[in-house]
Amino acid sequence: MPLFGLIRFSGAVLLSSSLLIVAPASHALAQPVSSVKQSDAATLAQDIASAGRVRMQSQRLAKLYWQSGIGLNGGAARQQIDAGIGDVDAEFARLSRQARKSSIQRTYVRSEGLWQEMRTALKKAPDSASAERVGQLADELMTHAGKLAMLIEGESETPVGRLLDLSSRLNMLSQRLARLYLQAYDGKLTQGVSVDIEQARKEFASGLRELDAARENSQASREAIGLARNQWIFFESAIAELGRADRRESRSAQHVASSSERIAQVLEQASLQYARDYADGLGNGR
């Protein structure tokens, strides 16, 4: 019998804070205007990336919680959950400056409130009820963190901003897909879950091709995308075996767990580069 009943779920990068240092009045005229714009642009890029990471972590932590519950590298999954909680706490600390903006305040407050609920739920021992609650909160947080990223990005738009959002969304999708896989692996593979997995698989594959083909890519971002594409080969192969492989054979599940973590790492690297490119584009008036 599976540990959990089947629960259907729906479907951010760490950057150091940037401080805008105001020059003394006597030197104000000597300071290039572009440097001030660049600092503002870097802060904006950081906040877009932080909101994207919260969106991704909502799904990743729900995945790890499920993984812990079914005993798939349970000890390591628990440690990753604890580390992930610290990461999300740090992201909200960075994003707190957004709470001062009237157009963003409500979404920020709602997102942070959902995180506190999810944070508490993640501390509980996994069972059917707690897994369902974590999943519900993860989906709500994913939605509101996505809105938060859009509101922040709405202050200014460049083509690189689109790539930053896409890489962040793909990172979230990779974690959602892994969670759906583990859900099916743990119990009965229903038609509805199968449809959800296939839709997420197609969207991820299509988005990865779009990201790879983007003309705005730098060499660094292209290399990170190439690493993600390599890991996706293992991930997608494991998904294709779902429903055909012997359930006592955990090799495919191990591939999904490990590949999804590696994809999260390399797409984060791509997002970091896009955030730098985005800041450069805004700072230079592009």
Q: Is residue 127 part of a domain?
A: yes
Give the pLDDT of residue 248. 45
Phi-psi region of 188 (alpha: psi -120 to 50; beta: other; left: phi over 0): beta
Q: Is residue 107 part of a domain?
A: yes
Give the pLDDT of residue 257. 92
Q: Is residue 19 part of a domain?
A: no
Q: Is residue 167 part of a domain?
A: yes
Give the pLDDT of residue 30. 38
DSSP 8-state code for residue 26: G
Mean pLDDT of the chain: 82
Q: Is residue 6 part of a domain?
A: no
The mean pLDDT value for 121-149 works out to 93
Q: Please say if the pLDDT value at position 84 is more than 70.
A: yes
CA angle 279, 284, 286 (to 5 degrees): 85
When pLDDT is cut at 50, 70 and 90, the band that residue 187 belongs to is: confident
Q: How far is CA 15 from CA 12, 47, 100, 269, 274, in A?
A: 9, 9, 20, 11, 12
- Model confidence pTM above 0.85: no
Q: Count of domains in the chain?
A: 1
Q: Is residue 191 part of a domain?
A: yes
User: Could you list the residue range(s) of the whole structural domain that residue 41 is in?
Assistant: 34-283
User: How many CA atoms lie less than 13 Å away from 82 in the CB half-sphere?
Assistant: 7
Q: Is residue 4 part of a domain?
A: no
Q: Is residue 50 part of a domain?
A: yes
Q: Please say if the pLDDT value at position 159 is more than 70.
A: no
pLDDT in tens, 191-202: 877 898 999 999
When pLDDT is cut at 50, 70 and 90, the band that residue 285 belongs to is: low
Two structure tokens written together for 239: 């998904």
